[in-house]
Each structure stands twice: as C-alpha cells, then as structure tokens.
C-alpha cells in the first residue's frame, strides 16, 4: 500500500516536472515570438539597403543585423572547423590508444578545460592578440581569427568527450568483429568504430555549434564590435548576433529598438536550429555512405 503510494507519487512528480519544463519552453518561445515577430522582416536584417545587393556584397548594410548574421555564421564555421580535427583526434586517442594512467590524466585536464569560464578564455584570447600585436605585427588585433580560436578552445572538451565516450560505449562484440576478420587497429577504427560512433560524436559537434553561436563573453574580449560591416578578412573585427542582442537590450532608446533585439533573438534561434539540422543531415548522410555504400 505504502509502496504503491510512493510509486504513484514519483510518477505524478516526474510527469509534473516534464509538464513544467514544456510549459517553460512554450512561455519562453511565446514571449519571444510576441515581442520579436512585429520587428521581424527585411528591414530588421537589411535596414534601408536592398537585400539582394546586400547579400551579393554590393551594398553596405548600416542599420540592419545582416553583418551580425554573417559574423556569427563565420564564427561558427571557423571555430567548428578548428575544433573538429583536434577534438575528434584527441577523442580517438583517449578512447583507443591511451594507457589507463594517461587517460585519467588527460581526462582530468579536459574536464578542467570544460570548467573554465568563457570570460577567462576570452581574456586569454585577448592576451594572445596583444602578444601577437606587440611581438609580430601591428596588424594583429582582436579579430575574427582570434575569436574563432578562443571559441574552438571553449568547445573542444565537448567534442573530445563525446568522441571518447561514444567510442568507448561501443559493444565489445562490435569491437571484435573486424579484428577477428584480420583488420588492423587503424582499419577497425576507421571502418567500424568511427562510423558506428558517429551519432554520439555528432551530438558533441551539435553542442559545440550551439555554444559557438551563442557565446558572448569570449567574443566580447576578442574582436566583436557594434559596427564593422561584413568581415573582410580573418584579421578584421566583426559583428555577431549575441553581441548585438546584448548591446541593444542595454542601450535601446525606444521600444522599437528593443523589439529589434527580440527579432535578433528569434533569428539567432533560427540559425541555431538550421545549423543543428544541417549537422544532423550531414551525420545521416555520412553514416549512410560509410556503412551502406560500396
């Protein structure tokens, strides 16, 4: 009787908590939509410029968030591209090659790295820019490249850990299959283990992409500015959506400007969703190709 009651309470409690969570998400999205939708439109993105010309780079956008969108996209692509080979490589090393002692030590280091607040990594990136400026050339200043490097360091632990755990979680049966057929260790990793761990690895990459798109503290110190236009090179300052949201909600002059901030939030969410879907689609394609095609 008592046991029954406890079990029922647990069910009710977990149901309520799930409901609460869904409610929160709905309220949050609903609020953003009501606040942001009115300002959403070509004008928010392109200002007074002609959208087509702006996309082709023929016209500069002054009071729209188009440069911030481009900046954020550049940032995500660059930092993911920098973090991916290092992260996946380290993950493979940790899961497949490292001896137990080394594994523990490196695992701890990556956990520490994961725990470093992003503002500290931003500060580190800023110091790097200052160092490069003083030591090598005046051309170095906080810029897109420095931001991308710092963000890559920030998201590295996600990729390392997800690669490592998804490789380690593969069943022993699968691990032995190719070896018993005469595969070398490398062949086993490349043809069997990685393709089968791809879903776990890509969830780490998705997390990383999300973090690159939303993190503000790192870019605040390493090169983002309020107005820069479309970044012309890796060494130029740039605009980014999270920073735009930050400063417009800090310094808005009238309700219309604040509403633009909400619109930018919606666009940032949309970009994240689109990137997630892209990563998901790529994962599907990759594993399909690796496993089913000759």
Partner 1 sequence: MKTKDKIIVKGVDFFYGRNQVLKNIHANFAEHAITAITGPSGQGKSTLLGLFNCMWNEVPGARCMGEIRIQLGNSWVSPLKKDVPLPLLRRKVAMIFQEPNPLPMSIARNMAFPLKLAGVRGTSIIAEKVRKALEQAFLWEEVKDRMEKSALDLSGGQKQRLCIARALVLEPEVLLCDEPTSSLDQRAAGIIEDLLISLKANCTLLVVSHYMDQMRRIADQVLALQDEGLERI
Question: Residue 294, interface with partner 1 (CB under 8 A)?
Answer: yes
| Region binding partner 1 by CB under 8 A among candidate stretches 102-110, 172-180, 234-242, 277-285 | 172-180
Question: Residue 178, interface with partner 1 (CB under 8 A)?
Answer: yes
Q: Between 32 and 71, how does the x/- string for binding to partner 1 read (CB under 8 A)?
A: ----------------------------------------
Distances (CA, A) of 101 to 104, 108, 164, 165: 5, 11, 15, 17
| Shortest separation between residue 183's beta carbon and partner 1, angstroms | 5
How does DSSP classify residue 224?
B
The residue within the footprint of partner 1, chosen from 192, 217, 265, 268 (CB under 8 A), is 192
How does DSSP classify residue 38?
G
Q: What share of the chain is helix, strand, coil (3-state, %, to 5)?
A: 80, 0, 20
List of long-range contacts for 125-129, beta carbons under 8 Å, 24+ apart: 125/149, 125/150, 125/153, 125/218, 125/221, 125/222, 126/221, 126/222, 129/222, 129/223
| Region binding partner 1 by CB under 8 A among candidate stretches 152-160, 182-190, 203-211, 215-223 | 182-190
Q: Rounded to the nearest 10 degrees, what angle do helices 100-115 and 144-168 cross at? A: 140
Contact 32, 252 (CB under 8 A): no
Q: Which residues contact 42 (CB under 8 A, 6 or more apart)?
A: 51
| Region binding partner 1 by CB under 8 A among candidate stretches 70-78, 108-116, 150-158, 171-179 | 171-179
| Region binding partner 1 by CB under 8 A among candidate stretches 43-51, 213-221, 273-281, 285-293 | 285-293
The residue within the footprint of partner 1, chosen from 86, 123, 141, 183 (CB under 8 A), is 183
- Residue 56 CB-density burial (10 A; 0-12 exposed, 13-18 middle, 19+ buried): exposed
| Shortest separation between residue 184's beta carbon and partner 1, angstroms | 5
The residue within the footprint of partner 1, chosen from 20, 37, 130, 291 (CB under 8 A), is 291
Phi, psi of 270 (to 5 degrees): -60, -40
Alpha helices (H) in 136-240, listed in sequence order = 144-168, 172-180, 185-187, 194-214, 217-222
The residue within the footprint of partner 1, chosen from 196, 216, 222, 259 (CB under 8 A), is 196
Residue among 3 and 293 whose Cβ is closer to partner 1: 293
The residue within the footprint of partner 1, chosen from 42, 81, 108, 174 (CB under 8 A), is 174
Residue among 100 and 115 whose Cβ is closer to partner 1: 100
Q: Between 93 and 122, how does the x/- string for binding to partner 1 read (CB under 8 A)?
A: -------x----------------------
| Shortest separation between residue 77's beta carbon and partner 1, angstroms | 31
The residue count for binding partner 1 (CB under 8 A) is 21
Could you report how far apart the first and last alpha carbons of the chain are, in Å?
Answer: 60
Chain contacts with partner 1 (rule: CB under 8 A): 100, 173-184, 187, 191-192, 196, 291-294
């Amino acid at each position: 009787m008592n046991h029954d009651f406890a079990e029922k309470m647990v069910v009710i409690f977990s149901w309520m908590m799930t409901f609460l969570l869904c409610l929160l998400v709905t309220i949050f999205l609903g609020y953003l939509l009501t606040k942001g939708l009115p300002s959403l439109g070509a004008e928010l993105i392109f200002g007074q410029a002609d959208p087509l010309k702006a996309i082709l780079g023929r016209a500069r956008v002054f009071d729209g968030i188009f440069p911030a969108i481009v900046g954020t996209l550049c940032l995500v692509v660059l930092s993911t591209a920098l973090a991916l080979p290092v992260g996946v490589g380290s993950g493979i090393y940790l899961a497949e090659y490292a001896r137990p002692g080394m594994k523990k030590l490196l695992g701890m280091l990556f956990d520490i790295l994961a725990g470093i607040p992003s503002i500290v990594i931003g500060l580190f990136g800023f110091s790097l820019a200052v160092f490069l400026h003083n030591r090598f050339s005046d051309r170095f200043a906080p810029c897109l490249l420095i931001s991308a490097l710092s963000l890559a360091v920030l998201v590295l632990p996600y990729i390392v850990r997800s690669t490592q755990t998804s490789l380690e979680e593969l069943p022993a049966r699968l691990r032995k299959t190719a070896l018993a057929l005469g595969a070398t260790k490398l062949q086993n990793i490349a043809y069997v283990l990685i393709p089968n761990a791809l879903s776990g690895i890509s969830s780490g990459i998705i997390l990383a992409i999300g973090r690159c798109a939303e993190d503000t503290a790192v870019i605040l110190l390493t090169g983002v500015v309020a107005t820069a236009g479309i970044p012309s090179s890796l060494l130029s300052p740039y605009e980014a959506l999270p920073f735009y949201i930050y400063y417009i909600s800090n310094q808005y002059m009238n309700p219309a400007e604040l509403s633009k901030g909400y619109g930018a939030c919606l666009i940032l969410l949309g970009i994240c969703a689109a990137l997630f879907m892209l990563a998901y689609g790529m994962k599907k394609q990759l594993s399909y190709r690796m496993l089913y095609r000759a």
